[in-house]
Amino acid sequence: MPELNMISPLLTNMELVKCVSVHGGTSVYIVKSTKSNQSYYLKHICIPESQKQVDALMFTGAAATVEDAQNYYKQVAADYQSELETLEKLSASPNIGCYRSYQIEPKEDGVGFEIYLLAEYRQTLSEVLAETPMTQSGAVNLGLDLCSALCSLREAGLIHRNVKPSNVYLSSSGHYLLGDLGIAKIDELKYCSMPETMLSSFSAPELFSLLGTIEPTTDIYSVGMILYRIYNGNHGPFEDEKTSARAADKLRVTAHCPEIDVKATGLNICSRLEAHEILKSELRLYLGYTSAEAIYRWPEGKNLPTLQNLYAISQILGVSINELLVTVPA
């Protein structure tokens, strides 16, 4: 279990039960009150997630001193707080599962902040389906509740992007709530692809593509996938006795995705870096590579930067990711 620093006042009289998941600098735990014996979900976010990010910040000149770096992450934490305040406004929605409370604290040792989010512990849709087959009327009510939640997000100009059974919760009243709101504002999205660890069999195809356009329909697709699987014995599209679940999911995702010309893309990236007089040795340090060998392979078409590194390069060059990618003509 990842070590959890219990410095937040939210965790007074709380004991750690277990770790549910870990993705980068974000961990989710179940904690229990020693007074009421009630259980809660605790999401713990580290900003930044590692010392490497602080080193990269100072290497690029974005922060000249440790104090500058702390001020930079103070603004990042303030942006998180603004997002959390937006979520609080959604608490009136009957089908949005908001956080009960939150706390943002400076790290006791090092640069950055720690965010603690506390939510009531509820059974997830994944757990519900594992215990009892859903009836037709239950599936209809589930669909209505999720559509109600998406309407609330849309009215607030937000997209969820990660709708799946483990992020849907059953309330004590029998209604379903959409939770784990790692929301994004529709008009502020820079790129739509999600980290690979966050993608699922319910994710819309555009979330797998570097060239996809994210829209409110992204969440609607995921709701459709949840209902499709419920009505089809947990089988997804293209899945049958001849096609495995993994192969079927690949067909679902790649059916409409443009093909990227790896070699042409590598040449495009390298030529843009050379035009900006950015040395491969400098880029290696910035991206955290142990050697520059991978960078030299880009123009040969042998590999490409990860999505995270593509985004970092796009920020250095002042262009979008789409301008770095070259697609194969249809």
- Residue-by-residue pLDDT tens, the chain, 330 positions: 456 666 677 788 899 999 988 887 889 999 999 999 999 999 999 999 888 888 888 877 778 899 999 999 999 899 888 888 888 888 888 899 888 889 999 998 889 999 999 988 999 999 999 998 888 889 999 999 999 999 999 888 888 888 999 999 999 889 999 988 765 554 444 444 566 667 788 888 877 776 666 788 889 999 999 998 898 888 888 777 777 777 777 777 666 556 788 899 999 999 999 999 988 888 888 887 877 888 888 888 888 887 678 878 888 888 877 788 888 886
The domain of 132 spans 123-254
228 in the same domain as 138:
yes
249 in the same domain as 163:
yes
113 in the same domain as 57:
yes
In the sheet that 39-47 helps form, which strands lie side by side, from edge to edge?
A: 14-23, 26-33, 39-47, 113-120, 101-106
Residue 173 belongs to domain with CATH number: 1.10.510.10
Rg (C-alpha) for the chain, rounded Å, is: 22
The predicted pLDDT at position 190 comes to: 42
Cis peptide leading into 48, omega within 30 of 0? yes
The predicted pLDDT at position 34 comes to: 92
Residue 45 belongs to domain with CATH number: 3.30.200.20
Residue 295, judged by CB atoms within 10 A of its CB (0-12, 13-18, 19+), counts as: buried
Residue 4 within any structural domain of the chain = no
Q: Which among 229, 254, 239, 246 has a CA at the least distance from the CA of 165?
A: 229
Residue 298 within any structural domain of the chain = yes
The predicted pLDDT at position 1 comes to: 47
User: Of 84, 102, 120, which one is at a domain's C-terminal end?
Assistant: 120
CA 194 to chain centre: 6
112 in the same domain as 31:
yes
The predicted pLDDT at position 199 comes to: 77
Query: Virtual CA dihedral for 135, 96, 215, 76, nearest 10 degrees?
Result: -140
> How far is it, in rounded angstroms, from Cα 239 to Cα 243?
5
Residue 284 belongs to domain with CATH number: 1.10.260.40
112 in the same domain as 194:
no
The predicted pLDDT at position 167 comes to: 92
Contact 164, 146 (CB under 8 A): no
DSSP codes joined into one string, 102-137: EEEEE-SSSSSEEEEEEEE--EEHHHHHHHSPPPHH
190 in the same domain as 218:
yes
**pTM value surpassing 0.75:** no
The predicted pLDDT at position 151 comes to: 93
Distances, alpha carbon 163 to alpha carbons 156, 186, 195, in Å? 17, 16, 14
